[in-house]
Amino acid sequence: MKPTHTTGAKSAILLIYTGGTIGMKEDPSIQALRPFNFSQILEEVPELGKFAYRIDSYTFDPLIDSSDVEPSMWLALTELIEERYDDYDGFVVLHGTDTMGYSASALSFMIEGLTKPVIFTGSQLPIGTPRTDGKENLISAVEIAAAKDSEGHAIVPEVCIYFDNILMRGNRATKINSDHFRAFRSPNFPPLAEAGISIRYNEALIRKPVSWGVRPIFHKNLDTRVSILKMHPGITPQIVHTILCGEDTRAVIIETYGAGNAPSKEWFLSIVKEASGMGKILLNVTQCMAGSVNMDIYATGKCLKEAGVTNGYDSTTESALGKLFHLMGLCSSNSEVKSRLECDLRGEISK
Ligand code: ASP
């Protein structure tokens, strides 16, 4: 990893506040937490004023707990970034931690050919509390969003999550802890940067656009007809059939065991074949926290492959969902979706 670069002196950053714990402060009048006014962010985090950047803020209305996130919110975020793309050098999205992995994944697919950083962050403790982790997360996320190389290009032109000193590719990160400050992990891909005394970027891993001078493509069509089937001992044919063959689903993410294995029982495989025969897109991701699907190792995995199940490799479930929404919105044919699912589009899988 290389040490910190000079951060672009006159960078302009748009701070987008969507809701979540980070923007809360204690309101003594009601003795409860409430969102504070983000246009007064400098009063809450005066350290931001020490940067030589212009920092503007945009607050979503209504502010939401991220458990209420819907694809319409990803659309609003994408449209906002598209509208303001030329006015800023980087974007910081303040978001609740609960579904941050889903939102960062979705945005990574919805914006193709990014030339500027989009850094998601949040916190476990409200910014208005003494031991908050929100200040460090916010200040470093802003610094990363503003960081440029000697040619004036963004150092991290990717959708990322910054949390507890680690910068992760957004579509690789997952929430792993509900009460530690280290709430996120990127189990299948190393950090893009680590913050210590300086911010050290792992440049060899950071994706760069094909051309710096071209505006990204903003994909705004999402098809959300996806279900998730988590395999578990005792699962019944009725449940598997309802999920895999349901009329309203175009695709199902199957969270399998280990390296992509599922029961070898006849009833299970015949339902998978039925769904596949109906043209459903079936995507195999592992329940394991780390590692990849390989449907060639065990007979149980091989049967899935033969039944038409697509390999999700080392994708997180969050990323698989965002990728499916995006590809199904883009392609009308399911066979095209299946073949694109196997491609690495935004650094989300290693093959
Ligand atoms: N429930 C909150 C949310 O995800 C938790 C957080 O912000 O960390 O919006």
Helices 100-110/71-84 angle, 10° precision: 50
Per-residue confidence (pLDDT) for residue 8, from 0 to 100 = 45
Query: Which has more pLDDT, 6 or 60?
Result: 60
Per-residue confidence (pLDDT) for residue 4, from 0 to 100 = 45
Sign of CA dihedral 163, 166, 167, 172: negative
Q: Is 98 in the pocket of ligand 1 (CB under 6 A)?
A: yes
Average pLDDT, integer, range 131-160:
96
Distance from the alpha carbon of residue 75 to the mean position of ligand 1, in angstroms? 20
Specify the ligand 1 atom closest to the Cα of 65. Answer: 9
Specify the ligand 1 atom closest to the Cα of 97. Answer: 8
Q: Is 97 in the pocket of ligand 1 (CB under 6 A)?
A: yes
Distance from the alpha carbon of residue 134 to the mean position of ligand 1, in angstroms? 12
* pLDDT, averaged across the chain: 93
Map out the domains of the chain with their CATH numbers: 4-218 (3.40.50.1170), 226-341 (3.40.50.40)
Per-residue confidence (pLDDT) for residue 336, from 0 to 100 = 97
Specify the ligand 1 atom closest to the Cα of 99. Answer: 4
Distance from the alpha carbon of residue 265 to the mean position of ligand 1, in angstroms? 40
Per the DSSP assignment, residues forming a β-bridge with 91 are: 14, 118
Residue 207 pLDDT > 70, yes or no?
Answer: yes
Helix, strand, or coil (residue 134) = helix
Per-residue confidence (pLDDT) for residue 328, from 0 to 100 = 98
Tell me what percent of the residues of the chain surpass a pLDDT of 70.
97
Tokens matching residue 41? 């962010």
Tokens matching residue 33? 């937490």
The distance from CA 264 to its chain's CA centroid, rounded to whole angstroms, is 33
Residue 32 pLDDT > 90, yes or no?
Answer: no
Quote the CA–CA distance of 243 and 7 in Å, as a whole number: 49
Distance from the alpha carbon of residue 96 to the mean position of ligand 1, in angstroms? 4
| Burial class of residue 4 in the structure, from the number of CB atoms within 10 Å of its CB (0-12 exposed, 13-18 middle, 19+ buried) | middle
Residue at 86: amino acid letter: D
Distance from the alpha carbon of residue 323 to the mean position of ligand 1, in angstroms? 23
Per-residue confidence (pLDDT) for residue 2, from 0 to 100 = 47
Task: State yes or no: is 21 an active-site residue.
Answer: yes
Average pLDDT, integer, range 104-119:
98
Cβ neighbour number for residue 84 with a 10 Å cutoff? 15
Catalytic residue among 7, 21, 59, 256: 21
Neighbouring residues of 306: CB distance < 8 A, sequence distance ≥ 6: none
Average pLDDT, integer, range 48-54:
92
Per-residue confidence (pLDDT) for residue 217, from 0 to 100 = 98
Specify the ligand 1 atom closest to the Cα of 66. Answer: 9
Q: Is 96 in the pocket of ligand 1 (CB under 6 A)?
A: yes
What end-to-end distance do the CA atoms of the chain give, in Å? 23
pLDDT band at 9 (very low <50, low <70, confident <90, very high): low
Per-residue confidence (pLDDT) for residue 280, from 0 to 100 = 97
Tokens matching residue 159? 């959708």
| Burial class of residue 332 in the structure, from the number of CB atoms within 10 Å of its CB (0-12 exposed, 13-18 middle, 19+ buried) | exposed
Per-residue confidence (pLDDT) for residue 1, from 0 to 100 = 52
Quote the CA–CA distance of 144 and 85 in Å, as a whole number: 17
Which of 33, 34, 98, 175 most suits a substitution to test ligand 1, by most atoms within 8 Å of the C-beta? Answer: 98
**179 Rama class: left (phi>0) / alpha (psi -120 to 50) / beta:** alpha
In this structure, the residue with its CA closest to atom 1 of ligand 1 is 65
Residue 40 pLDDT > 90, yes or no?
Answer: no
Quote the CA–CA distance of 201 and 16 in Å, as a whole number: 24
Quote the CA–CA distance of 160 and 158 in Å, as a whole number: 6
